[in-house]
Each structure stands twice: as C-alpha cells, then as structure tokens.
Amino acid sequence: MRIFIILIVMLCNVAYAQQNVSSGRLDILRDVAEVGFLRATTVKPFTFPKDHGAHPGYRHEWWYSTGNLEGPEGRRFGYELTFFRLALAPEDKKQIEENKSGWKTPVAFAAHFAVTDVEEEDFHFFDRYSRADGRLAGTKGTRVWLEDWSLEQSEDGWVIKASEGDIKLNLDLKQVKPPVLNGDQGLSRKSEAIGNATYYYTLPRLQSTGSIEISGETFSVEGLTWLDREWGTSALSSDQQGWDWYALHLSDGSDLMFYNLRNMDNSRHSYSAGSLISPTGEKTSLKAEDVIIEVTDYWESPLGGRYPSQWRLSIPNHGINLNIKPVINNQELNTIPRYWEGAVDVIGQRGEDIIEGQGYVELTGYSR
Amino acid sequence: MGNILKALSSYLFRHPGQLALAIIGLAVGIAVIVAVDIANESARKSFDSSLTAVTGDATHQIIGGATGLDESVYIDLRLGGIRTIAPIVEGVVRIEGETYQLLGIDIFAETSFRDYQVEGSGSGGSSGAGGVFSLLTEDNGVLMMRRSAARLGLKTGDPFTARVFGAEHQGIVLSLMGDEESSNGLDRVLITDISVAQEWLGLVGKLSRIDVMIGDEDNLRASIEAKLPPDVQLLNAERRNNSLQEMSSGFNTSLTAMSLFALLVGVFLIYNCMSFMVLQRRPIIGVLRALGVTREQLVAALIIEGLVIATIGVLIGLFTGKFLGEQLVSLVSGNLSDHYYSVRGGEVTLAATTILKGVVAGLLATLIAVVVPAIEAVSYPPRLTLVRSVVEESVHNILGWLALAAGLLVIVAGVVLTFTDVNLIAGFFALFLVIVSSALLAPLVVKLMTPLLTIIMGYAVGLPGRIAVRGILKSLSRTGVAIAALTIAVAEIVGMGVMIGSFRENVEDWLITSLHSDIYVAAPARGGGLSLNGIDPELITKLSQVNGVSHYSGARGVKLETENGSIQLRAVDMSPDGGNAYDFLMGYPAEIWPAFNAGEGVIITDPYAYNFGLNIGDSLTLPTKLGSREFKVLGIYRDYNANQGSITINRSAYITYWQDEVISSLGIYLREDADEVAVIDQLNAVGAPYQALIIGSNKQIREMSLRVFDRTFIITNVLYWLAMIVAFVGVLAAALALSLERGKEIAILRALGMTRAQVSKLIVVQCGTMGLLAGLFALPVGMISGWLLINVINRRAFGWQIDMIIPIDTLLSALAIAIVTALIAAIYPAWYATKSAPVSTLREE
C-alpha cells in the first residue's frame, strides 16, 4: 500500500476543491469518478517483461524503489525513488489527430526522490510533477521517467538515475529472484468491495551497485533494492485511515513484506497482508492475523504528528521475531502530502538463529 | 481678519455669477488635467500589468529565432535537468468583439512563477496551484478573471466562442479568478493549458517563449546557454520588458503631448479666473486700506479666500476629471487594443500622482493668480488702488520683460534640442518651453496688433469696433491672459492638425508607393505574429495559374527577438518592378538593388536606422539559424509601420541564413486586361480547400491601413474639444469681467445715447476680436508646435520621418474655431451688459 493514494488525494483535492473544502481526504477519494477506468477484479496472468511496462486504462500505477546502500568504510545510505502514474481522467483511446498538441494528456506523473545520509544524519528529499506527454515524463516499454529521473530495464536488471541540486544517484540493479506476485497470484485486495484491489508484484532483492554524489563528493555504493510495482483504480475503503508498510531484506536470504492497513481506531484492518519470500524466491502469503507488530517507540515530527519509530515484529508460524529501528529518526518527506519513508535496521531471531537485516518502512496518515 | 474676509467676500456674494464662474473655471481646468492624466496613466498601467501578468517573476526569457521556438528546446532543457523554466504559448483571441490575451501554460511548470488565485483553492495547502489542475482534464477549458466573466455574462461551466483569425473555437469557463475589483493585471487574460493554446493559436509544436528564473548562480545561465540551438537566445526579461515598454510609450506620445497642452491651458484658466477676482475688487481693497487695514492682512485674507475657493474648485474638478477620464480611457482602450496589447476599458484608477498633479496645479496657479495682483493692489497708496488704470499701466510696463523672458525660453528650448539627440522627455520639455514663451508673448502681440485692428474694426463695424479694440488693450491684464489661453488651445489644434495631417498625407503616399502589387495574399499570422507554415507551396503554384495573374513575388515575414525588442525581418523575392515599392531616403537604387539581389546586405527602414543610429555601409548583427551574423546596410527606405522599424533581405540570402523556405505572403501582379474582383474571387476559391488565406486588393489594404490610422487619432479629436471648452470658459470669464467692470463706462455710453443693441455689439465685437487675435497668433505658434511634434517628438518616439505639410483647411478652421468660441462666450456678457439701466448703474458708483 503506497503513498500514491495521498497523491491522488492531492490532485483530486485541488481538482474537486469546489465541491470539497473541509471533508477529509478519504471522503474526497470516494468522490472521484471511477467511471471509464479499468479495475482489478479478477486474477490475471502476468507476463514479463510486458508487465514491467505501464498499464494504461487503470487510474494509477507506480514504480517504487527503495534500498539500503553501503559506501567506502561502511558509510550507510538509504534511498527512495518512486514514479507515480496518475490518470486525472480516463485516457482518450482516439488516434492522435493531426495538428493536435503534443502536450495534450489527462495523465500526470509524480516522482519522489530521497537520500538518507546516516553519517551526516541528513535526509534529502525532492518531489516532481509533470504531465505524462511521453517527452517530459512517461513510459516507453519498460522505461519510466520524469525529466532526468528514470528507471529502466537493462539486459540483466535495471538502471536508476536521479539527480537534483547537488544530490545524484546512479545505480545498476541485478535481479537475483524472480518477480513475486503478492496477494492472490498478483491480485491484491484492499477491502471486501469487489474491485477495491490492485495488481501487485515485487522484485524483492535487486543487487545494487553504483554511486551517490552529495555536495560534490562521490561515493561508490552497493547494497540491496526493493522494487514494487502496483496498478489499479480503487484504493482505500472509507474506514481506513492509513497504512504502515514494511519491506525487509534479511541476512538469511529471505525477504519480508507486510502492509498494515489501519482502521480509524488505529486497529488493523482485516485485509492487511504480506509476503514472506524464501532465499530461492518461493512466496508464502501472510494474512493479517499472521503478523504481530508492537510499537516500542515514537518520534515526534517537528512539523507535527507522532510517528511510530521502533517496532517488534513477530510471525509466530515461522518463528520470526524482529526488532526494527530507523537508521535516523527524521526521514519524513515534507511533500504534499507529508509522510515518513525511511531506511531501517533489523535484528532478531528466526527459530534459534540470530538474524539481521535492513529494509524500508513507510508510514502514512500520521502527519497532523 | 474675519471682518476683512467678510468685507471682501460680501462683494462675491453680491455677484454669485462671478464666484460660480471662478469655481467652474477652476474645476474645468483641473478636470482636464486630471482626465488626460488618467487616460495616460491607465494606458501605461494596463500595459505594465499585462506585462507582469504574462511575464510573472521570470528573470529571463528564452526566445526563438525567425521560425519561432520549437517546444523541443524546452523539453531538452527539462530532460537536461534545468528546472526553473516554464513554457508559454500566448496570443490574442477575441470573445464577443473584445480582445483577450490567451496564455497557455503548463501548470506543473508554473507554480513557482505565477500566482494564480483561483476560487476554491484556499484549502490547497502550500501548493497554491488551485483548481488549475482541471486544465488538464477539461478539453478547451480556460480560467477567466471574474471581472471579464461578469462583463461577458459568463459563469463557471459556461461555454463561449473564441475567435482566432477567423477560426472559431469553443471554450469552457473552468473557474473564475480574482474578485470583481482586483486589478492584478490578469483581466483580459485567459489562462489555459498549453495544449489548448497551441491548437487555438495554430502553434502546435511551438512555444512563444520560455520563462526562466535564474537566481544569483551565473553557472545556471551558462549551462542553459550551452544547451540552446544557435538561433535561440536567453534574454534578460527586465531589459526586454523595458524595450517593449518603450515601444508602447511611443504610442502614448500623442497623449502626453495632449496632457501637456491640457495642463497649460488649465493653469491659464485658473490663473485667469482667480486673478480676475482680485482685480475685480480693487476698489474694495482700496477702501479697506484707507480704513487702516494693513497690506499683510489684506494679502493674507485674499490668499485664504483664494485657497478656499480653489479647494472647492479642485474637489469638483477631481470628480469631473475622473468621469471625463473614464470616457477617455474607453476611447484609448479600443485604440491600444488595436495596436499593441489588451487594455481594459471603462475602469479608472485615480492615482495619487494624478490627484497631486491636479491639486498642485489648482492651488499653485491660484496662489500665483491671487498673490501677484494682491501684492500689486496693496502696493499703491489706497487712493491709487481705487484707480483701475494703474494696474494696466504696470502691465504695459512689463510687456518688454515678458517678451525678453519668452525669448530666453525659446533659446533654452533650442539649446535643449541641440544637446539631446533622441531623448523624448527633452523633446517635450522644449515643446513646453516654446508654448509657455508664446503665452508670455501674447500680451505684446495684442499691443502690437491693436493699432491695425482698431482701423480694421473701425471700418468694419464703426465706433463700437474702435471702442471694443481699444478696450482690449486697455484691460490687457485680463484680456492678455484670456487671449494667451485661447492661443494655446487653438495652437494645440493647429499643431496636432499639422502633425496628423502631414502624417496622414505621408502615410497615404507611402502606401501608394509601397503597395505595388495589385493583390496581396497572406497566410494568417497567429500567436506571436508568426505564420508557421506560410502558404502551401502547391497552393502557390495553383494561385499563380489563376486566370488574369501575370506574375507574383513571394515574401516571408518573421520576427527576430533580441534584448532590444523585436525586429521585423522581411525576406522578399524581388519582382522585376518590385523595387519601385521602396522610397529610398539614403542610397541610390541603381547601386542598392544589384547588391541586394546578390545577397550582399540588407535594406532597412528609416525608423530602424534612426533608432539604432545606422547609416549606409554600417553593419548590423542578426540572430540567424547559424548563429549571430553581420549584415551590411545597403539602403534606408521610408516606412510607417508601427514599432521599431524593419529589415528587408533578399529571400535567397534569408533561406541560406535561416533555413526557412516558407513563403507567408504573395504580391500578385495582374495582367492588364484582368478583372480584379473576378481574380480575387477565383483566388479565394482556389485557396479555400487548402487553408485560410487573407486576400485583399491594393485598394482594400490601403483603405484599411488608413482606417486604422484614423482610429489611432480619435482621441485627439476629443481632446480638441476639451481644450476648446477650457478656452471657452476662459474667454467667457474675461468677457464677463470686462463687461462687469466697465459697467460704468457702458452706462455712460448708454447715457450718451448708445442703444442696447450697440452696447451688445460692442461686447460681441470685443470678444470676437479677442478670438481673432488669439486665432491669428495661434497659427504661427501652432505651426511651430506642429514642426516640433513632427521633427522632434514623433521622430524621437517612433523614428518616423515625416515631411511637414501645412493643411490650409486646418489653419482656417482653427481660426474660425477661435473666433466662434469667443463669440459664443460673448453672448451672456452682452446680454448682461444691456440688462441694467444706465441710471441705476451710474448711481451705484
């Protein structure tokens, strides 16, 4: 469950501001006409590399990469680079007419880029928006870009490029596990309502090498990237106020993803779910009741709102007990809307074995 | 002091007509000053604000070459990581006959540049972009200013029809911006998505410009410049705006000239009315002095009284002026929208400076008008003060000094003109000095002319004629001022008439010379004045095969943008006799054409040469597709197109340097036996299936040009009449004064046997003679002003070289207007003078 919803809310908020001034975000989301869009209702076969590309017809889609990187002398970095494709209105299927402006499209792109510099305790974040006119931003085959930020499939993996101001990121990602189809063979239902679902797959463990440049200093880095791909038309149901998402690379070679959909009373929604992925790529689905999460610390945002900042996550069926802690507390993106997405360290046990790891956590619906 | 004031004012209350006249005179004077200032200021302000509304906070602009700016330039910059840029597609559309500026934006690139205040965006947090996102989802949606919408009777969701060069586009009002009163410059501006603007304006694939925000980092400028194609330039927005502004300030020149005249005439009127009130009461002043009131007390009392009256007059004047100004603005706005930019009409801002100007003019003129005669009145022994002739004597004594001052002013004007080259303000200053000096000379002129006029009038109307003329001279202290005011007003008519008449004649000649072909065919220029694709080459062939067409010459007109404003560049295929279309002011055609046809250089218009100080043999630099290139000036020709002038180049040379083979207009020559109307019909029929064309005959274009010319000067007609009203009130005041003051004299004349009719005649003749004097003196003054307007003001503002022509009918009608005005002003005093019985008038004394 990703921050796309807030982005849609933001765009719709302004587009529909005449009708909605004071109502909450989720109300607005429900008002957005979904007529004319495709919906994720049934299980569909995935084919690659075709499904790495865009899925026009659905209202939203995203490419979501996060990763932990290590530079010379063990210097730690985290990064996030995400692309959101948002159709503000159903796309016209008509052929492009002659003398039509190349700027014409109802599809917008948004992108967020963040770098966590653990040693300096710095968090750099940027956001961009553009129309998806296929020039400034868009998708072409398996390439997605917004101006000079891009994610594109290469021969044996992916290439990431992003830079803003004096922060630059260049990474080659190598795929070591096959794509994991989350939920029911890739159909990820978010509530009881039919069609309130997305198609959701993950490339959980991408070996990443490249460089980060900060203020003119370049660091060679390597580490692991998590890439999520998701598309659909509907989103949260009315009784959900936000979500916590965990994506962890564990030292035994397994990977863990879980999203905790929060009800209005902060309790867990029954459609919360996750995937436990073995070192060889086999997926075990996790249901809401399979995972126990206890918040052990909080962080007050200087901008307002209290975020959880330490967790104890256990999956009794698999003997997993993990302590999760952000590498630095302030990894909040003061974008519109505001949310927290940051690199975390993991330490714990799996059965009798000590297990370590790194990962990313996303927290939305906490900013006040 | 209270008693003194009471004593002084009791006279005024006994003569309320006089008091009213003084207040009306003051009010009219102020009103004219204020009205013209409002018109001027509004024109300037709407230009300023429409400029900032469309340029926003951009520090720089990226401007395309001859064939416009390809949108790929913008996309490449963005993809290259340059982010503080925003693409703009703009042009003019018409909705229900009103002109609107269509501003096509990319909202995602915008938020940092412009501040759009759209309804319902209040909760949008820091984004500030508001409902503008609906621009992306609604086809042909526009954001409109609330005030524009109110005027057009539109509300959110309403459809409307926008016209762009004959084509109609259906738009929808997405949202309203601003409030009814706000005047942040966006009125008459429609905001739409860049895609809509491209399609409506026929600029698909092109941008009008790219707005750039560069902070203090110079490396950003350098890195942008490194990425631009050779014919695309990064220009400083402020400098460019300034040059745009200069361009339009040229237009405001005639308005400024008008306001100068208005100010002078207004001040004279105020002076006349106020000083008259003091002079009128010399007997009372004398009595008060005799009763022991000190000089200081008297002067103070007169000043206080004058200022009280002035305040009332100024207040009335300000309100009347605002109303008048509104009328003027709507006249100006139609005019400016024709030419340069969208101006909102009907609404008026009474700027602080305008009020200040009115108040200062009113109070200062009053002060001088009161103080000078007051001091003078109290400076004599009380007994002498009672005697009227003392004043007149002193006036006659200073005539020489006035003439000397006038001479000095003319010398200063000459010096100013000699030592300033192109400065427009200096030009105006010189004009001002000349007019003031003519006003100073007016009394002397009256004195010199009266002997002659006495004889003439004596012959014409007998005794009343002689008495009347001598009366003018005898009361020079007030007739002189009235005549000076009338002289300036009439001189304005003459001066502007000479200027406009000469200008029109020159333009007409020039149109005949330069419109050489029989029929003109042009592809509509859209958006930024650029005809992208011109006329289809296949269509050109077909058009040339139309029955009756002998041959044609093709031309390409483009606009080159530079930091010094835009340059019109015309590339022409010279037809065998096409060369005759150019009236060379510098250079010999026999030398120019071979070099021109060989592409060895360019020919430039006279205004261009003047504005940039170019001469034959000089070089000028133009941004070409291949980068900056130098071109030699081969010849300078006459041209009256608006703006800063243009450059003409041989088309094959143009193709080499700009790699643009488009032909945007054709000059078609007909066979001798061809029927013009039939050929035009045929051309229209052939062109219709291909594209929209503008086809016009030589005559139609000439007439259209002159119509535009005439419309430009509509406002001057209005100002004529304003000036005349002021002058009229001035003469009326003077005539009334004379008849009032000489009530005794008239009574004696009546007692001596003069009939009522004869007395009326006397006053009418007197006024008529004043009108004649003013009219006659106004002719040379007006012609000198006209010369200055043509050779200094116009030349400096536009660079146009105009041959002065003296239109006899203008002179004659000016003279007639002067006399008729004076005669009309005489009606009331003439009636008033005969009303009273001689006996009672004499007894009163």
Mean pLDDT of A22-51: 66
Residue A216 has pLDDT above 80, yes or no: yes
Closest partner CB to A14 (pick from B80, B129, B196): B129
Of A208-212, A350-354, B554-558, B613-617, which has the strongest mean pLDDT?
A: A208-212
In degrees rounded to 5, what are phi and psi of residue B624? -105, 175
| Residue A332 per-residue DSSP state | E
Q: Pick A169 or B741 by higher pLDDT.
A: A169
- At B624-651, the pLDDT tens digits run 888 888 899 999 988 876 556 788 899 8
- Angle formed at CA B744 by CA B740 and CA B746, multiple of 5 degrees: 80
Per residue in B407-454, pLDDT (tens digit) is 999 999 999 888 887 777 788 788 878 888 888 888 888 888 888 888
Cα separation, B2 vs B299, whole angstroms: 13
* pLDDT band of B610, cuts 50, 70, 90: confident
The residue of chain B nearest to residue A98, with distances taken between CA atoms, is B204
Mutate to test the interface with A, among B71, B79, B135 (most CBs of A within 10 A): B79
CB contact under 8 A, B131 and A15: yes
pLDDT value of position B341? 42
* Region B148-167 average pLDDT: 84
Specify the 3-state DSSP secondary structure of B611.
helix
Distance, in Å, from the CA atom of B60 to the CA atom of B237, rounded to the nearest integer, reads: 4
Q: Which amino acid, B347? A: E
> DSSP letter at B628?
E
Over residues B759-772, the pLDDT tens digits come to 788 888 888 888 88
- Helix/strand/coil (H, E, C) string of B759-779? HHHHHHHHHHHHHHHHHHHHH
In chain B, how long is the greatest CA-to-CA distance? Answer: 101
Interchain CB distance below 8 Å, A336 and B126: yes
Higher-scoring residue by pLDDT: A256, A367:
A256
pLDDT higher than threshold 70 for residue B580: yes
Rounded Cα gap, residues B69 and B67, in angstroms: 7
B333 neighbors B714 (Cβ within 8 angstroms): no
Partner-chain contact B79 A13, CB within 8 Å: no
pLDDT score at A237: 64
Q: Look at residue A19 in the predicted model and tell me its pLDDT.
A: 30
Q: Is the dihedral of CA A156, A158, A163, A166 positive or negative?
A: negative
Query: Residue B532 pLDDT more than 80?
Result: no
Judged against a pLDDT cut of 60, whether residue B363 lies above it is answered with: yes
> Cβ of A131 and B83 within 8 Å?
no
| Residues 6+ away with beta carbon under 8 Å from B20 | none
The two three-digit tokens of residue B501, written as one number: 């008449």
pLDDT tens-digit map of B233-284 = 888 776 666 555 554 554 455 566 666 666 666 666 667 667 667 766 777 7
Residue A41: helix, strand or coil by DSSP? coil
Reported as a pLDDT band with limits 50, 70 and 90, residue B508 is: confident
Q: What is the C-alpha separation between B215 and B218, in angstroms, rounded?
A: 8
The DSSP symbol for B744 reads: H
In angstroms, the CA B464 to CA B470 distance is 10
Average pLDDT over residues A238-254: 88
Task: Compute the nearest-CA separation of B75 from chain A (Å).
Answer: 6
Q: Please give the residue of chain B at the shortest CA–CA distance from A166.
A: B81
Q: Cβ A17–B130 below 8 Å, yes or no?
A: yes
Nearest residue to B354 via CA among B329, B316, B325, B311: B325
Assigned token pair, B51: 């400029």
Q: Do A14 and B195 touch (CB under 8 A)?
A: no
Q: Contact at 8 Å (CB) between B620 and B647? A: yes
What is the ipTM metric for this complex?
0.88
pLDDT score at A31: 38
Mean pLDDT of B571-577: 75
What is the pLDDT at residue B607?
Answer: 81
Q: What is the pLDDT of residue A15?
A: 37
Domain layout of chain B by residue ranges: 1-56+239-387, 67-230, 388-513+709-845, 524-692
pLDDT value of residue A6: 42
Collapsed DSSP state (helix, strand, coil) of residue A4: helix
A17, A260, B56, B272, B469 from B476: Cα distances, Å:
74, 101, 58, 12, 11
Q: Are strands A122-131 and A107-117 parallel, antiparallel or unpaired?
A: antiparallel
Best A35, A85, A104 residue to mutate vs chain B (most B CBs within 10 Å) = A104
Mean pLDDT of chain B: 77
Chain B residues within 8 Å of chain A (Cβ atoms): 71, 75, 78-81, 83, 106, 108, 119-127, 129-134, 136-137, 156, 175, 193-196, 198-199, 204-205
Domains of chain A: 4-363 (2.40.370.10)
Of B106, B130, B136, the CB nearest to A106: B136
Cα angle vertex B762, ends B25, B265, to 5°? 25
Least confident interval from B368-382, B663-677, B765-779: B368-382
Per the listing, tokens 């009115």 go with: B358
Chain A residues in contact with B79 by the CB 8 A cut-off are: 135-136, 147-148
φ, ψ of residue A193 to 5 degrees: the values are: -65, 135
Helix (H) or strand (E) holding B318: helix B295-339
Chain pair A-B, CB pairs under 8 angstroms:
88
Within 8 A by CB and 6+ apart from B745, the residues are none
Q: DSSP string spanning B190-244?
A: EEEEHHHHHHHHT-TTEESEEEE---S-HHHHHHHHHHS-TT-EEEEHHHHHHHH
Which residues of A are less than 8 Å from B81 in CB distance? Answer: 147-148, 163-164
In this prediction the pTM is: 0.66
Look at residue B348 and tell me whether its pLDDT is greater than 70.
no
Chain B nearest-CA distance from A15, in A, is 5
Tell me how far apart the alpha carbons of residues B608 and B644 are, in angstroms, rounded to a whole number.
Answer: 6
pLDDT reading at B817 higher than 90 = no
In angstroms, the separation between the Cα of residue B127 and the nearest Cα of chain A is 8
B194 contacts on A by Cβ (under 8 Å)? 101, 103
Tens digits of per-residue pLDDT, B703-717?
Answer: 777 776 776 666 666
DSSP state of B836: S
Confidence band for A350, pLDDT divided at 50, 70 and 90: very high
pLDDT at B487 over 60: yes
- Per-residue pLDDT of A111-156, as tens digits, reads 999 999 999 999 999 988 888 889 999 999 999 999 999 999 998 8
